[in-house]
Amino acid sequence: MHAESIPWYWRALDFEKLARDFPPPPDYFRTTFRMSRDELRALQEQRFLQTMRRGWEIAFFQRHWRDAGMEPGDIRGLDDLGKVPPYDVHHIRDSIERNPPFGDFMGISPSDGKRMPLVLQTSGGTTGLPRPMLYAPQDRETMAIMGGRRFALHGMRPGDLVLVTYALGLSNGAFAPREAMWHYCGAVPVMTGGGATTPTRRQIEIAKAWGVNVILGFPSYLRHMALVARDEMKIDPRSLGIRLIGTHLGMEDRRKIEDLWGAPCFDAYGTHESGMMAAECQHQSGMHVQEDAFILEIADPESGKILPEGGKGTIYITTLYKYGAPQIRFNVNDSSAFVPGTCPCGGTLRRLDRIFGRNDNMVKLRGVNVFPEAVGAVVAEDSRTNGEFFCFVDRVGEADSDEMTVMVEVTDPAADRAAVKADLERRMKEVLGVRVTVGPTAKGALDPYTGISQTSKIKRLLDRRKQSR
Ligand SMILES: [Zn+2]
């Protein structure tokens, strides 16, 4: 007989209260989404102070804040937010190294599973072990509400059948939308995962046979999928009846994907630690921030100074709902800006512009900052390519000159590669402000570098300057 009591999930939360605090759709559109700025500010004040109190219970924040000379009670409200020292992923890695294997930044550990149900997912993890993250019931369920709001903003409806092509595995990418959809959207998730879990041709067969009408995925895989359908299976992706696409555009041009699929494509922004922070409404004019659950700031990446509205800089995240691993001025290193003015939809929540790139992915090329994402946007414009690209950065010659070579896949074997090279090199110079070399190659040749057919964590850059040093 098992005598120990088990913390049942359905008892872990007051679900009615949660829905009042963080209204799911459709209530969301009558409440939080249209709240006056004053009312919203008052709500944020209260949740921010609660988050600061929680922060002082967690060893990581105690250390980080005390090192900066902060004492409990110093931060008396949102007006003091700028006094809280920011931190980034290096601080989190340091926390994990000091206190393996989970770090001391979460304030919970797996043994807390005795008193509350916990679930573990990770970051994507490009180098070394992925970073683990534990979610308490309050965290996980609020994240699901936030995901549900995202999908409802995009126009997802109860009864929609949704193909989820994010990687299935340790990372949160596919699991979070699954919970969001079936808990708070009425839509039915179809968890095919990425190409490594369900081959792309099979994904298309399933979409066709079952009448899938919504797809979620990253732009490059959405493009890859449409081209496999059109060119290899002779199925026009537009004939599949896809009604809408949820993605993370970054610098990609949505029109190409919309043309291929014959469906509108909506941008959204989230991370595995924070959940879904912002999403586009029908007007596709910036992503509404879920400001009852987050405060986002845009800071100058060098000085840390908060920028005026419209200024382009790095995002600082403060969560207003989390118990496990709250984030308080976390510098996530993604580059964006706020969209000034109001949205025609009538929503009062601020909008985030596209994500211009990751600051830690940024390459300094002869004094010019280059994001691989911006390179990708130029490649995707050219219909002689399939949008696939990979950047190599090298230090060459006696002058130690920094050079970037952008390999691109040319779809048509008969295409004039010299012309593709010349045209793209000219266009890149215009857009990036610095000269790069373009190397056209055959369709599929870059797969071993990018991993497009296998994973949704696609690589776009190899900086060989670091290896040669
Ligand atoms: Zn809107």
Along the chain (469 residues), what's the average pLDDT of each consecutive run of 10 residues?
Answer: 85 97 98 98 98 98 98 97 96 93 96 96 70 95 98 98 93 93 97 93 98 95 94 97 96 91 98 95 98 98 93 96 98 95 96 88 80 88 91 84 92 91 94 92 92 77 71
Residue 383 CA, ligand 1 centroid: distance in Å:
31
Q: What is the pLDDT of residue 357?
A: 85
Residue 34 CA, ligand 1 centroid: distance in Å:
10
Residue 349 CA, ligand 1 centroid: distance in Å:
8
The correct CATH number of 362-468 out of 3.30.300.30, 3.20.20.70, 1.10.569.10, 3.40.50.1820 is: 3.30.300.30
Q: Decide if 307 contacts 298 (C-beta within 8 A).
A: yes
Q: Decide if 292 contacts 40 (C-beta within 8 A).
A: yes
Q: Decide if 150 contacts 246 (C-beta within 8 A).
A: yes
86, 143, 90: which is closest to 313 by C-alpha? 86
Burial class (CB in 10 A: 0-12, 13-18, 19+), 221: buried
Residue 187 CA, ligand 1 centroid: distance in Å:
22
Q: Where in the chain is the domain with CATH 3.30.300.30?
A: 362-468
Q: What sign does the CA torsion over 114, 175, 335, 390 have? A: positive
Q: Where in the chain is the domain with CATH 3.40.50.12780?
A: 8-84+109-290
Residue 353 CA, ligand 1 centroid: distance in Å:
12
Residue 461 CA, ligand 1 centroid: distance in Å:
34
CATH class of 8-84+109-290: alpha beta
Q: Any idea how long the chain is? A: 469
- Model-level pTM greater than 0.75? yes
Residue 284 CA, ligand 1 centroid: distance in Å:
7
Q: What is the pLDDT of residue 167?
A: 86
Say how far apart CA 215 and CA 300 lie, in whole Å: 35
Q: What is the pLDDT of residue 458?
A: 80
Residue 25 CA, ligand 1 centroid: distance in Å:
15
Burial class (CB in 10 A: 0-12, 13-18, 19+), 358: middle
